[in-house]
Amino acid sequence: MSEPSEKINRLDFGHPPETVEFWKRCARESLALTPAPLYVFASGPVAERLAELEAEMVAAGFRSATTNQKSPLGFRHWLSFKTQPLRPLLNWWRASGRPIEVVSEFELRAVLAEGFAPENILVNGPAKHYWLSAFELPELSVNFDSAAEAEALLPLAKRQNWRLGVRILTSQEFDPENPANPTQFGLEPVAAVAVLKKLLASQVRVETVHFHLRTNVSAVHMFEQAIAEVAEVCRAAEFSPLHLDVGGGVPVRHVLSRGSKVYDGEFGLRSFARMLRQSVKVMPSLQEVWLENGRFMTAGSGALVVKILEVKERRGLRQLICDGGRTLHAITSVWEQHALIPLETHAGPEVLTVVHGPTCMAFDQLARIPLPRSLSPGDHLVWLDAGAYHLPWETQFSHGHAAICWQDEAGLRVVRPHQTFADWWGHWQ
């Protein structure tokens, strides 16, 4: 379904039973190969989200960049590398012929090592003039984040025939922790006009305007307002863009805020696609709309599997101490609630339970929810929707990295073993 559901089940957060069973099966098969704690990731959910988004865009009147459908305005999705820096996912995505977006030197080096051609790489992020100048990559797509970037990288961009764009700071982009403040990204409209005019006068290949609001944008109209502001910048600069890069922000499903707000409760893909098709009419020069919705695309493609090591009961509270948790594997649990499913079957009453990781921090709390009292040491829990940002924020707080399993058309396999002590400690000179 493309429109948000009206109700979220307290236990599974709206996941269909077949989805819960899929992840329980993946968890069992993974545990047969390697012990917990472990992540298991799968290509299937990514393919499903991509197909759903593409179907709504096509229905709204866009042409997919991977099909031969006849429409004057195309649509292209760039995989956000930072969201899930997983080598098998990169190779699976590259095999589909789709492009990728990076925001750092290491990410760029990684996608080049995995065989992505420069013309299929988009470089975003701040202060990249301090590292991107070391790369001679013709046909690269680069969105400038500041006037300093444009000044420093312009000679290289001209020499290598880069496809250039500018990131614009709109009124809809703000710091989620301090909504009165803007984020640190992009150019304010007046500065964006000046940079665009300079690029056009320099006769480089400037083709793109870009904005990115934030993660889990709650309403479609915020994108609509941002597009109107970007169009005004283009008019002021007398610039006719070929590409509008709207960044990410489509909210993830089946995940709640700490205040129990459903992130996609007021957001529908169909409404989003139709809004895009209508709003971009103010920029008749456009050939493609670009999206980079990493969280929406990958959040549901992973799960964290932990084992209960010990149980404590005091002051009316049951506490499960597990071999994985927030501090090591799921920092997003600070501001998100995910479905947490017992892997083994348990009957009997539920009691208020706090699920803790193994680190020496009271902060290490994965969830505080009713769970079966019959859960005991040796049982496993599966934390769903662990596909977005869990790997880049994984820590080594007194423990090594978890094992990682990957499931695709070829089956399930271990793609990263548990980190050994030698690896954990041996990097010191």
Cβ proximity of 326 and 365 under 8 Å: yes
What pTM, to 2 d.p., does this model score? 0.94
Domain boundaries, the chain: 44-297, 300-420
Split at pLDDT 50, 70, 90, the class of 390 is very high
pLDDT tens string 267-290: 999 999 999 999 999 999 999 999
Question: What pLDDT shows up at residue 238?
Answer: 98
**pLDDT tens, residue by residue, 275-328:** 999 999 999 999 999 999 999 999 999 999 999 999 999 998 999 999 999 999
Residue 60 has which token pair? 């709204």
Cα dihedral 83, 85, 90, 91, rounded to 10, equals -160
> Which burial class, exposed, middle or buried, applies to 328 when counting CB atoms under 10 A from its CB (0-12, 13-18, 19+)?
buried
The whole-angstrom separation of Cα 154 and Cα 360 is: 50
How remote is the C-alpha of 39 from its chain's centroid? 16
Q: Does the pLDDT at position 3 exceed 60?
A: no
Architecture (CATH level 2) of domain 300-420: Beta Barrel (2.40)
Q: What does the DSSP 8-state code read for residue 192?
A: H
**Alpha carbons 105 and 151: distance in angstroms, whole number:** 19
Q: What is the average per-residue pLDDT within 182-190?
A: 97
Q: Are strands 243-245 and 206-210 parallel, antiparallel or unpaired?
A: parallel
**Residues in a beta bridge with 354:** 319, 368
Looking at residue 67, its pLDDT comes to: 62
Cα distance between the two ends of the chain: 54
Q: What's the confidence (pLDDT) of residue 12? A: 79
- Which tens digits make up the pLDDT trace of 214-242? 999 989 999 999 999 999 999 999 999 99
pLDDT digits (tens, 9 = 90+) for 48-84: 999 999 999 999 999 886 666 667 899 999 999 999 9
Q: Which two tokens stand for residue 415?
A: 């793609």
Q: What is the third-level CATH fold of 44-297? A: TIM Barrel (3.20.20)
What local confidence, expressed as pLDDT, does residue 11 receive?
A: 61
Give Cα separations from 113 to 117, 118, 200 (angstroms): 10, 11, 33
